[in-house]
Amino acid sequence: MLAFLSVTYLLEQGTRQIYNATLPQIRIDFLQYGVTDAQLGMVGTVFGAVFGVSILFAGFAADFLGRKRVVVVGTLVFSLGILLSGFAAGLWALVAFYGVMNALGQCCVAPPCFSLICQRFEKERCMAMGVFSCCNYIGVIVCSALSGVIGGLGSGVWRWAFWSFGAFGVLWAIGLQKFLKGDSDTHAATSEGAHSEFRDAFAAFAGKPTAILLVLAFGMFIYVNLGIYLWAPSFLMRTFDGLSLAGAAFHAVFWSGIGSIAGLLLTARVTDSLSAHRATARFEVTIVGMVFCALTVLLIAAAATLPMCCLGLLAFGFARGVLECTVYPAMFDVVVPRFRSACTGMAGCWAFLFGSMAPAVLGWMSQRFTLRTGFVSLTAFVSIGAVLLVLARIAFLRRDMEMVEKLKG
């Protein structure tokens, strides 16, 4: 199960990077239509907004309709969205296929996968999530590097990156349907009890101040992450002379990806060990990751040389790895297991709705100021996130954890 879900996550996260890696060439090809940086950033903003709204319903669907079913359908839909993006003849086609259809499919992957993994690996959930999330960065590195190489071959060739990965995703969805075993922990709601089920799932999240503050902080991080993911290749090309599209696409994701894998695996092992003796360890490690993230974003923005910027990306990736393997396990400490997929959906809804503004805002800032100024502004968001986490730890964490233990008992 972990292998099947990990490859699915690799494909979902990796194909999300194709647009970012080929954006400089898409920009050149679409200049004839008068497309601006802000409009190109809007494609990423539409993706984030649609993803944020849809993941709420995907989380509920996974808990009530079946997690395997939601994963398979989502993989098929986002793969078709990627495939059709290769045929886009203008900005609005990219918005429809990449921004909307792709997002509708991708939102169906994380909630059921996170729930299945944490259900199967209750005591080793950080380590399992770490292994699972490593595939995120392997996919990002591979897809970004290959897409950058393909996009750099000339005008219009970037389309082959969308066609190739999209077609593979369709085939993978068919394989999932045939070979992935279904989950037995699905709580299907009858028509009479549906309202009560949804209300209970919402209460499981909204009744915990710790979960609310954690998710608000997570939204700050997603804002930063989406902004850096989309604009890092363009930032590198504009800031450091002589860097090719393939080189910018590679550096933008390789160093942060390697850092994230290291952060995931190291933090997962340490956090699982600490949590066996200290119940609040997952949440406390999340705070450390958020603080470190703020410092690394500033390092990227202030870098005067390419090696220094790559070092900043490596450090940012490590901080991101710390957060990705602890945020959801920490949230699951304060919500009952039955509604984990639904709570994942609610968390993702806020985080991506808020974070979706970053691509367009940074595109606007690149036109009015510079991308470097835009990257500096990102530091404020993760700093606010760190403050929210500290407040949750001091005021609410232990009480909310005790409430969940009583409900489970």
Q: What is the pLDDT of residue 189?
A: 46
Distance (Å, whole) CA 375 – CA 301: 5
Residue range 92-119: average pLDDT? Answer: 87
Three-state SS sequence of 189-249: CCCCCHHHHHHHHHHHHHCCHHHHHHHHHHHHHHHHHHHHHHHHHHHHHHHCCCCCHHHHH
pLDDT(122) > 70: no
Q: What is the pLDDT of residue 170?
A: 95
* DSSP 8-state symbol, 182: P
Which has the closest alpha carbon to 66: 125, 116, 13? 116
- Residue 394: CB atoms within 10 Å: 9
Indicate the range of 24-28, 61-65, 185-189 predicted with least confidence: 185-189
| Torsional sign, CA 268, 146, 299, 327 | negative
Residue range 120-146: average pLDDT? Answer: 77
Q: What is the pLDDT of residue 125?
A: 65
Distance (Å, whole) CA 213 – CA 231: 28
Q: What is the pLDDT of residues 247-260, one digit of tens each?
A: 888 888 889 888 98
- Given the candidates 1.10.150.120, 3.30.470.20, 1.10.260.40, 1.20.1250.20, the CATH classification of the domain at 2-178+198-408 is 1.20.1250.20
Q: What is the pLDDT of residue 224?
A: 93
Side-chain-side CA neighbours of residue 180 (13 Å): 29
* DSSP 8-state symbol, 31: G
93 and 35 Cβ atoms separated by less than 8 Å = no
Q: What is the pLDDT of residues 265-309, one digit of tens each?
A: 888 878 878 887 888 888 899 999 999 999 999 999 999 899 999
Return mean pLDDT, the chain. Answer: 84
Which has the closest alpha carbon to 19: 77, 73, 93, 115? 93
How far does CA 259 lie from the centroid of its chain?
Answer: 16
Q: What is the pLDDT of residue 110?
A: 82
Tokens encoding 144: 């970004």
Domain range list for the chain: 2-178+198-408
Q: What is the pLDDT of residue 142?
A: 86
35 and 89 Cβ atoms separated by less than 8 Å = no
220 and 351 Cβ atoms separated by less than 8 Å = no
- Work out the pLDDT band at 382, boundaries 50, 70, 90: very high
Q: What is the pLDDT of residues 165-178, one digit of tens each?
A: 999 999 999 998 88
Q: What is the pLDDT of residue 184?
A: 53
Q: Which residue has the higher pLDDT, 314 or 407?
A: 314
Q: What pTM was estimated for this model as a whole?
A: 0.73
Residue range 72-81: average pLDDT? Answer: 94
CA dist 135 → 3, 10, 192 (Å) = 10, 5, 40
Tokens encoding 268: 């997962």
Q: What is the pLDDT of residue 328?
A: 81
Residue range 104-117: average pLDDT? Answer: 85
